[in-house]
A = this chain, B = another copy of it.
Amino acid sequence: MARGRAHTTIDYDLFELGDFPLASGELLRDAKLAYKTHGTLASDGGNAVVFPTAYGGTHADNEWLIAPGKALDPARWFVVCPNLFGAGLSSSPSNAAVPQDGPRFPHVTVYDNIAAQHRLLTEKLGVTKLALAVGFSMGAQQTFHWGAAYPEMVARIAPFCGSARTSEHNIVFLDGAKAALEGGGTRVLGAYWAGWGLSQTFYREERWREMGAASRDAFVNEFYIESFAEGNPDNLLAMMWTWRHADVGAHPRYDGDTFAALRAIRARAIVLPSKTDLYFPPEDSEIEVRHLPNAELRVIPSVYGHAAGGGVNPEASAFIDAAIVDLLAHEAQAT
């Protein structure tokens, strides 16, 4: 979710993947993964964390969880934040060369992202096991895919405000978003998103005051309309395709069976939906947790809707942070 942040200088590294094979059979030419690391890999390799990014965000949007005194203290953990394909820093419609530029950028799945991240971790960063995969929204989807793609490698997952498979209603929501973007442009997409991104109670209680907005309209304008207006439409559509087709079952090993993929995840999991999330509602997480062998459901008791996972509300952020502390305190499963 775009969140109306002021622009800051963004520093990151690029990992060159070369011509990268996609699940579709196409090659993503001269593919690059943008990433940032925090902390240092321990000599036993036991402190690595992958923290992929969310729709419309970058690694910088993850940093509210990475700080001294937080669960992901860089003095203790080696945190790798790879950027989603399509988000503008990793290979994306906005930066790809002809003939894969703009609307010709190929369809990239969540598993394609995971495969590229796996190469970054193993080939470049020397990471062979993950203490944790953690993420928000599409980042949460990636954590489930990490657990299903590499069950032996991932000790824990902490997905928040996201699902292992994009739900039926979420697809309808995304198809509406696509229609809004294609039919009306990025500002219409921002207006589309404003009602979905937060809860009815957030608006009823005028919680935008807590976020420093002067009025409801100013909030919608700053955090949604102007924020999305800065986006590249082809990038937004590319990531939307990835999201719409997210499914842990969409892997050769699982042959489309979402629940089989969930059952194969060996990681200890704490799954954190927001109680008031309108497009990743807690019911979807409840259903998925039933199929995860080693999982706890912890609903974030927030009125911030989906944005509860976006680092914008201190109470919700503290709840997520505490869950990650608890999860990391558990011994890793014998694998």
Interface set of A (CB-CB < 8 Å, partner B): 167-173, 175-176, 178-180, 182-185, 187-188, 191-196, 198-204, 206, 216, 220, 278-279, 281, 283-284
Asked if A220 and B180 make an inter-chain contact with CB atoms under 8 angstroms apart, the answer reads no
Say whether, besides A183-B187, A184-B183, A191-B179, A203 and B172 are in contact (CB < 8 Å).
yes
Chain B min CB distance to A178 (Å): 8
Asked if B195 and A184 make an inter-chain contact with CB atoms under 8 angstroms apart, the answer reads no
Chain B min CB distance to A190 (Å): 8
Most buried by B among A168, A201, A216, A281: A168
- Beyond A180-B191, A184-B188, 10 additional contacts (C-beta under 8 Å) are A169-B199, A169-B204, A176-B194, A176-B195, A178-B191, A179-B180, A179-B188, A179-B192, A180-B184, A201-B283
Say whether, besides A168-B216, A184-B184, A278-B278, A176 and B192 are in contact (CB < 8 Å).
yes
Of the A-B pairs whose beta carbons lie under 8 Å apart in the complex, a sample of 20, sorted by A's number, is: A167-B200, A168-B216, A169-B198, A169-B201, A169-B203, A170-B200, A171-B203, A171-B216, A172-B194, A172-B195, A176-B191, A178-B191, A180-B191, A183-B184, A183-B185, A183-B187, A183-B188, A195-B279, A200-B279, A200-B283
Chain B min CB distance to A182 (Å): 8
- A194 CA to B168 CA in the complex, in Å? 12
Chain B min CB distance to A299 (Å): 15
- A200 CA to B285 CA in the complex, in Å? 12
Closest residue of B by beta carbon distance from A184? B183
Report chain B residues within 8 Å CB of A281: 200
Asked if B184 and A179 make an inter-chain contact with CB atoms under 8 angstroms apart, the answer reads yes
Report chain B residues within 8 Å CB of A196: 195
A173 partner, pick from B179, B180, B195, beta carbons under 8 A = B195
A220 partner, pick from B175, B199, B216, beta carbons under 8 A = B175
Asked if A169 and B195 make an inter-chain contact with CB atoms under 8 angstroms apart, the answer reads yes
- A179 CA to B177 CA in the complex, in Å? 12
Asked if A203 and B168 make an inter-chain contact with CB atoms under 8 angstroms apart, the answer reads yes
Report chain B residues within 8 Å CB of A194: 172, 175-176
Report chain B residues within 8 Å CB of A284: 200, 204
- A187 CA to B182 CA in the complex, in Å? 12
Chain B min CB distance to A196 (Å): 8
- A173 CA to B170 CA in the complex, in Å? 17
